[in-house]
Amino acid sequence: MTFVESTITFPYRRSLGPVIGQFMSGLTEQRIVGIRSGARVIVPPLEWDPETGHELAHDFVDVGPAGTVTAWCWVESPTSQHPLDRPFAFALISLDGADTSLAHAVDAGTIDRMATGMRVAPRWRADRTGHITDIEAFVPGEQPVLPTNDGGPATEPVEMMDYRASITYRTPVTTNQIRAEQASDAGRFLGLRCPECGRLYTGGRNFCPIDAAEMHEADEIDLTQVGTVTNYTIITPVQYPGQTETEPFARVNVLLDDVDVVVQYQALIECPNDQIRIGMRVAAVWASEAERGGDNLTVDGNLIGWMPNGEPDVSDPDLVNRII
């Protein structure tokens, strides 16, 4: 089985505010800060009391740094998303002087050294940026582990935090999909006709979604490269990290000639947005040998897009209903 690995990353920046900012600033100074709520101390500090919903006065207090494990689970095989690259425990730690628990990693070495009620203390990083990972992990014992070469606290209060959320997918690729992509790379549209109902599909799918009949290489046919615009959308780009478009652009659905197939969300080129219309006749435009592999290509292999071919428009009121 062939797999394609894809990673999606969402970078963003958040304002911490005066409460979480105080907590993160404290971490750069090797301090763990809580907030008073009546007779209780909440760690990490919150802006509102979780029981009453009342806004809390900014009455901060240092807690710990040592504490007691109240609950834990063991991670035998860490991944790249975990805080440590060796087996460790995720634990709830009741820090001395706090009435709530802090969730963090405990680097105990082996599962046999972990126990509810054990005492732990933080192991601090040398370079601290105002993030919960300024505590690399908690370790068994009463005394915190200080870095040999301490980078020192932040020179300014920590007010912002950058974060890059990412997830990686491994998607199986079927032999039908591989052949469809190879055809697109060669400048062809490959279709698959269901052997049961006769419906025609693009994209190299394995089964007919209507009757679940399996489709094979013997069911493939080459599709036409001329069609009619059935629907279109003018998109005004919103600027965000990674956005490359700066001007409004169009995406169209194209009903291919002689077959009951609509290819969706296609790029339209060499046509001003105000001249796009339902019924417009278009033809596929493929990259030349010199252009292949360039930045102007779409997800459909070497297909650059669709361009008006000069033929008379199709006048059919049912075209707008052809979305798929």
Task: Mark whether 158 and 21 lie in a shared domain.
Answer: yes
| Residue 179 within a domain | no
- Give mean pLDDT, residues 302-308: 93
Whose CA is closest to 249, among 236, 265, 262, 263? 236
Report which secondary-structure segment, H or E, holds 28. helix 17-28
- Is the separation of the CB atoms in 59 and 36 below 8 Å? yes
Task: Mark whether 261 and 150 lie in a shared domain.
Answer: no
**What residues contact 244, with CB distance under 8 A and at least 6 apart?**
none
- Residue 159 is predicted with a pLDDT of 87
Residue 294 pLDDT > 60: no
Report which secondary-structure segment, H or E, holds 135. strand 135-140
Task: Mark whether 31 and 153 lie in a shared domain.
Answer: yes
Q: How far is C-alpha 74 from the geometric centre of its chain's CA atoms?
A: 27
- Residue 297 is predicted with a pLDDT of 43
Confidence of residue 298 (pLDDT cuts 50, 70, 90): very low
Residue 119 burial class via C-beta count within 10 angstroms: exposed 0-12, middle 13-18, buried 19 and up: middle
| Residue 144 within a domain | yes
* pLDDT, tens only, 153-175: 667 888 888 888 888 889 888 89
| Residue 210 within a domain | no
**What residues contact 171, with CB distance under 8 A and at least 6 apart?**
3, 4, 5, 6
Give me 104's structure tokens. Answer: 């963090």
User: What does each C-alpha distance from 155 to 15, 33, 60, 106, 159 come to in angstroms?
Assistant: 18, 18, 20, 29, 12
Domain of 46 in residue numbering reads as 14-164
Task: Mark whether 150 and 231 lie in a shared domain.
Answer: no
| Residue 217 within a domain | no
Confidence of residue 293 (pLDDT cuts 50, 70, 90): low
**What residues contact 287, with CB distance under 8 A and at least 6 apart?**
294, 296, 297, 302, 303, 304
Structural domains counted in the chain: 2
| Residue 200 within a domain | no
Rounded percentage of the chain residues whose pLDDT exceeds 90: 62
Model confidence pTM above 0.75: no
Rounded percentage of the chain residues whose pLDDT exceeds 70: 96
| Residue 32 within a domain | yes
Q: What is the DSSP letter of 19?
A: H
| DSSP per residue, 92-118 | EEEETT-SS-EEEEE--SSGGG--TT-
Task: Mark whether 144 and 236 lie in a shared domain.
Answer: no
Q: What is the mean pLDDT of the chain?
A: 90
Task: Mark whether 119 and 238 lie in a shared domain.
Answer: no
Task: Mark whether 111 and 18 lie in a shared domain.
Answer: yes
* pLDDT, tens only, 133-149: 999 999 999 999 998 87
Task: Mark whether 159 and 30 lie in a shared domain.
Answer: yes
Order of strands across the sheet with 40-42? 40-42, 32-37, 60-63
Residue 241 pLDDT > 80: no
* pLDDT, tens only, 261-273: 899 999 999 999 9
